[in-house]
Amino acid sequence: MAKRCAICGKEPVAGNNVAHSKKATRRWWKPNVHKVKAVMKDGSVKRIKVCTSCLKAGKVKRA
């Protein structure tokens, strides 16, 4: 299942946990993606995955 925002394209990013001893272990930062019913431009209602920052910014009209 792809964890990508349908509006801005935000997706998981990989990086390192860095301990105090500078030992690095791999980790992921995942976007806060929710499935919402949204009204599309043509007026139809569709269920899409949207990150919470796009919801808060008003980029999505919820059904």
Dump pLDDT digits (tens) for 2-40: 689 999 999 999 999 999 999 999 999 999 999 999 999
What whole-number distance in Å separates Cα of residue 60 and Cα of residue 41? 10
Nearest Cα residue to 54 out of 3, 2, 5: 5
Give the pTM.
Answer: 0.80
10 vs 1: which has the higher pLDDT: 10
Q: Which residues contact 25 (CB under 8 A, 6 or more apart)?
A: 16, 17, 19
Residue 1 confidence (pLDDT) above 70? no
Other C-beta atoms lying within 10 Å of the C-beta of residue 50 = 22
Which pLDDT value is given to residue 2? 66
7: left (phi over 0), alpha (psi -120 to 50) or beta: alpha
- The fold for domain 13-57 equals Ribosomal Protein L24e; Chain: T; (2.30.170)
